[in-house]
Structure 1
């Protein structure tokens, strides 16, 4: 009877110790404050001219891991990227099919919001963790520009009427699913609660390329509740000429701060 009780206690203890290895959940929520650089449009217009707003961008990421062999783990993520700006052109610029004349006052809106669905395998799982997989990135974005200028010939009216401004606008959508390779490496510093993490997605096709890289540190400040804070730097580049007519060579990068929950 004593042997049976001891065996039962051992089994329960073993089950409790390995409960978090049966099914794991990891989620992060945070704010990213990037700066924008590079070019957009047929003529490679420098986005610095727009003085784009550097507002905080929200992001969320959640992953579910399991022990079933050959079945990949699943992660979903979403980043809401929106910015806008304005400028006065000192030369004509073409965005998609519309050419904006010099001296035009232009406002621009850029949206690069996207949702990721990632299937990955955990290659290593100890103080060094390595995940490899494939991401399907769904973009819901656009670049839009509206401008206004006054043609010189209208500015010499015989009856001295006010000059008539000309309105222009163009919008280029960025939508569809883009396949990307995925990798994440995490290094746990033993007995400290600190981790160093590098995570990235990347793809390239016919000269176009797209990368999204993050480096961060995570501190498990509340081990009992599995809460952690993380801080890092994210850099996203979009060098494309044939992706839904969205012609750009953009770089979006900056620091971010977030909260993490791991169960």
Structure 2
């Protein structure tokens, strides 16, 4: 009877180890607090003048890994980037096909929300980990500007808006192919890791990068939970991605919770 019990326990242990080897799952949920700088529109308007809100950006990514040769692993990620602000312009400014009057008050709403689908291979998998692959980044966003008043408008009552409202919406719905890479260095017996992750592309003068540097601490190793903190920097220098023309930099710290099975 003891032999049967021992054999059964050994079989369970073997099955658990095999399951972990056959399939792996890694997911991170977090919040990113970016600041916005750079230029946008035909006239390269400085977005600093809009004083864009630095609200938290939610992001999630999940990866599924397997040991089958030649078939890539898959990673899905989503970042919801939305902000808004306003300013009084002193000169005429053109966004796409609309030229806004000088001395009008212009409000801006910008969304750079995107979803990534990545196919990658594990090149190294020990205390030094290296993944390389390709990403299709799908944007579902827009830039909207609304103007009121201006130099041609002289209201009879001070501080009372007048004149036709001007508005322009520039959609951002293109797909960008990007190179993907992540390197992780595990510090043995500490539960700490140092991670660098990035996407990038450059084509016909357009350049887009998305880089993250972070540290991870496995604070509950038995439950495969970890907390990570880092800094994310995204640049969007494009002239041909849908109708949007921009040279933007979006960067700031972030905090996330990781689950690895």
Fold-level similarity (TM above 0.5): yes
Give the match's secondary structure for 1:246.
coil
Alpha carbons of structure 1 residues 233 and 6: separation in structure 2 relative to 1, 3 Å: same
Alpha carbons of structure 1 residues 191 and 102: separation in structure 2 relative to 1, 3 Å: same
Deviates more, 1:8-17 or 1:56-65: 8-17
2:136 alignment counterpart:
136
Task: Answer yes or no: is 1:224 the counterpart of 2:222.
Answer: yes
The residue correspondences of 1:207-218 to structure 2 (distance < 5 A) are 207-218=205-216
Q: CA deviation at 1:166?
A: 2.4
Scaled by the length of structure 2, the TM-score of the pair is 0.93
1:191 alignment counterpart:
189
The answer to whether the 8 Å contact 1:150/1:166 transfers is: no
2:31 alignment counterpart:
31
Within the candidate set 232, 247, 250, 1:249 is matched to: 247
Superposed CA deviations along residues 184-228 of structure 1, whole A, max 9, x for unmatched, are 000001000001100000011100000000000000000111000
Supply the RMSD in Å over aligned alpha carbons.
2.2
Q: CA deviation at 1:98?
A: 0.8
Superposed CA deviations along residues 93-118 of structure 1, whole A, max 9, x for unmatched, are 11111111110100000100000010
5+ long unaligned stretches in structure 2: none
Task: Answer yes or no: is 1:112 the counterpart of 2:112.
Answer: yes
Q: CA deviation at 1:15?
A: 3.9
Give the match's secondary structure for 1:54.
coil
Alpha carbons of structure 1 residues 156 and 105: separation in structure 2 relative to 1, 3 Å: closer
5+ long unaligned stretches in structure 1: none
